[in-house]
A and B are shown apart, each in its own frame.
Chain A
Amino acid sequence: MATARLSPTANLLRNSRLFALPQALTPPPTPPTSRTVSESETATLPHPIRASIVTPASSLARGDWGLKRPLPTKSTSEKSSRPVVRINALDTFEHITDFESAADHTVTLEKFQELHMPMSLPAKVNYATTIVPRHQSPFESHVDNTHTSQGREVPGARQFRHSGPWLAGQTEAEFQAYLKKVRKNKPEIMQKLRGYFVAKREAEQKKQAQDNGADMEALEPVEVTDEEFQDYLKTLRTNPSSLGPVVFELLDLPSPPAVPSYRIGGKYYQSPGTKLSSAEYAVSGPPKTHPSAGLSYSRSHALIYNHPKHGPQTYQRPVEARILRPKGRFKGKTSKAIAGVAGIAVEDLNAMTFVEQGAPAGLAFFDASLSGGAKYWVTPIRASVDSDGRIGLASYRASATAKAPYDIDSQKKPGLYSISDVARGGQRVVPRLDGQRGFQADTEEVARNLMKNLGS
């Protein structure tokens, strides 16, 4: 009713598709460190910051994307069969529409959706044990709340967003700016605190009446004098452990990380327990997006593929992972192998520090003899988005039972000694990179898996 009256032009423009494009997000910040950070400027960002645009085929042939000028076919339709672009600027001083291909993120999304994974709330994956934290969907009604939603009034409800900033993640300048803002609102905050105090007194009165067996109906409304309120303020000021929870409550701040153990004995501003939906958020900060990030909207991971020949399958179809970095020492640190699954870099969970029997070739060391690079089959088990907006994917190596229905040929198993000639450096012949690798029935793995299943 109270909408401003707009001219027909303004109304049309407001409702147009071009104007409906969301503003660009801020790119993920570089880590605040004094060390030199060597990152590629052209690398794919961890999450998209601009909307992707497509155009129908008839317009694509003319280069018409609904923008200031037609986009050249050489970098759109001649480069890709399904071009998707993102716009950096509609027009620049050089009379150029600044655009680039958005296939990096759109194709990653498509590949991710082919994994048929639900999104989970982030949880710390413990590498010491092979137990992966349970799946908890961010769409459950008791965790899918913001600071404005009704659902958070329910006792025990959690939320993924607070109205206040995360103090632990702020720089000094940001914190000072926030303090200034809070100081400006002092009267309102004092009023709120007064309301808080009244509610506290009411609760005390009620409790006392309950304990004494008095009539609950006949309770008088609590009257708080200014003097009482000032006394309450004084007690809060002198006692940090009682002031802490009140401040977090009043300003609706997400609770900070746990207090380090050496400070527990001393005085500090105690914070209430975290209200955030995942304990991981208390450590790394509240999430930037909805915890699902819109990657998948299914709640359950109890999705079963019904194979036409072999019936329902426990595992989804395994996917091939490219080994991006074999395990070993990297930048002076021992690290796990890193594999690329559906365009997402994943640490190999199964990797052991010792030399493994029957590990996929190329995982323990770089093997130049593998044509097309080293790959192995994995079963993704858990996907979540951390507070920076990066996708975290956990995957196991695909077992023989998972691979069996799909007729996936496993790579050639290394022999009894898993160290190949290439690694030993004793090789005297140049490996043929274009040769066909022989297929061996993986009987040993099948047997081992069977034993594992029987045992569990």
Chain B
Amino acid sequence: MIVRQLCVRQSRQLRALPRQSRILARFSSTETTFQTPVQTPIAEPGSRLETPSPSVAVPEPVRSDANKDLDKGLARKIQFHSLGSDVTGVYLPKSLLKYPPKATDVTLEMLLASQTHLGHSTSRWNPQNSRYIFGIREGVHIISLDQTAAYLRRAAKVVEEVAARGGLILFAGTRKGQKRIVVTAAELAQGYHIFERWIPGSLTNGEQILGHCEKKIVNGLDDEMKIWQEELAKYRSLKPDLVVCLNPIENVVLLHECGLNNVPTIGIIDTDADPTRVTYPIPANDDSLRSVTLIAGVLGRAGQAGQERRLKEAREGRLTYQAMDKLSVPAEEKESPAGTPSAATTEEPTRKSRTKDEDDD
């Protein structure tokens, strides 16, 4: 009986303590004073324990030696973990992807650390890039850091302004390992992304390739406007207003189609790429994932700033872009959103397949 009493109390006590400390105390103390009867009855079925017992009134829980050891161990652990120094300012690879810097925070040191200055082998160069090249070192061209910084800031400004005017931004990076980079940047900028393959003709022959995709019409606050399907079918699908290409060498077709459709493009131009393929080149290393992460992150941040600006304006009742004609909205939707009768059209092709990406349709 008495033993069982002790058990109930003990197990409650044990439950109050973190399990980890119990193990620690057992290992760290040289003279282990655990009594087996204390531990074993924990496994007893609950029904037995709940049986009413005659002597319940014990005012103060008596701390056994074992418990005191536990307390001491816990105190020691807390004390130990508060010791030592906090190491700050360390490079954490994941932070570059999670918290990319703003374009104004980009420094030459950051670009250097991200290996943006390493170009290709000198035998691979495109002479049109000579203005971005700082020199030759160990057989590779070195891209000038200040050129990279300047062009990156310009491109970030372009992305921000396009986002602020409600443009559709498409991030395309189809190399291995660029998937997370592209998706993160597109999420920040509320744009779209491609990380597998650009289907040739998606722009020039978009009606055929992507015409079946779902469309939606949104208002100035990005709320979806419900209209009839027949009405919706009258609207043509949109093309992206800006394409950010992280590997222009592999995506020549995409850039060519953008050129045909007057879609401005931003591209990371390594020393072997053709800078005339894109509208706004960023001379940098496109092979290093760290360099691409930084550049895509900066552009994503710029897009985020632009979107925030646009939504703020919209909440104050101003549209940053030209409104489209009045819609014939279903009756119950008519007096809904916050004083923005005109709506921006943003179609989102949600093909159920893995690519949520597509740009235009």
- Chain A residues with a Cβ under 8 A of chain B: 7-10, 12-13, 16, 18-19, 58-59, 61-64, 66-70, 89-93, 95
Contacts and interface: CB of A to CB of B under 8 A. Distances in A.
25 contacts: A8-B146, A12-B112, A12-B145, A13-B117, A13-B142, A13-B145, A62-B289, A64-B290, A66-B115, A67-B115, A67-B288, A68-B120, A68-B285, A69-B287, A69-B288, A70-B289, A89-B121, A89-B139, A90-B121, A90-B140, A91-B118, A91-B120, A91-B139, A93-B121, A95-B124
A7 B137 CA distance: 17
B151 interface: no
A12 B93 contact: no
Nearest to B290: A64
Q: Is the interface of B mostly helix, strand, loop or mixed?
A: mixed
B324 interface: no
A96 to B, nearest CB: 10
Nearest to A58: B93
B337 interface: no
A62 B119 CA distance: 20
Interface residues on B, range: 20 to 34
Given A62-B93, A67-B115, 6 more contacts: A9-B145, A66-B115, A67-B288, A91-B119, A91-B124, A93-B124
B144 interface: yes
Nearest to B287: A69
Contact of A92 (B119, B121, B142, B287): B121
A125 to B, nearest CB: 41
Shortest beta-carbon contacts, A-B, top 3? A69-B287, A91-B121, A68-B118
A85 to B, nearest CB: 15
A16 B288 CA distance: 17
A9 B109 CA distance: 9
Contact of A9 (B92, B108, B120, B290): B108
Interface string B120-132: 1101100000000
Given A68-B287, A90-B138, A13 B112 contact: yes
B108 A8 contact: yes
- Name the residue among A9, A18, A59, A62 with the largest chain B CB count within 10 angstroms: A9
A67 B287 CA distance: 10
A330 to B, nearest CB: 42
A83 to B, nearest CB: 17
Contacts of B112: 12-13, 16
Contacts of A63: 289
A16 B117 CA distance: 11
Contacts of A13: 112, 117, 134, 142, 145
Nearest to A16: B112
Contacts of B94: 58
Nearest to B143: A9
Contacts of A64: 93, 288-290
Contacts of A58: 92-94
Contacts of B121: 89-93
Contacts of B177: 70
Nearest to A59: B93
B120 A95 contact: yes
A13 B117 CA distance: 9
Contacts of B145: 8-9, 12-13
Nearest to A89: B139
Interface in B276-324: 285, 287-290
Interface in B84-117: 92-94, 108-109, 112, 115, 117
Interface in B136-176: 137-140, 142, 144-146
Nearest to A15: B112
Nearest to A90: B140
A12 B109 contact: yes
Nearest to A56: B91
B352 to A, nearest CB: 32
Contacts of A59: 93
Contacts of B287: 68-69, 95
A406 B115 CA distance: 50
Contacts of A68: 115, 118, 120, 140, 285, 287-288
Contacts of A18: 118
A92 to B, nearest CB: 6
Nearest to A94: B121
Nearest to A70: B289
Nearest to B176: A70
- Name the residue among B121, B134, B177 with the largest chain A CB count within 10 angstroms: B121
A8 B92 CA distance: 25
Interface in B207-242: none
A16 B113 CA distance: 9
Contacts of A95: 120, 124, 287
B270 to A, nearest CB: 10
B268 to A, nearest CB: 13
B134 A67 contact: no
A12 B115 CA distance: 12
Nearest to A8: B108
Contact of B137 (A8, A19, A66): A19
Nearest to A66: B115
A9 B115 contact: no
B179 to A, nearest CB: 13
Nearest to A61: B93
B220 to A, nearest CB: 41
A89 B139 CA distance: 8
A94 to B, nearest CB: 9
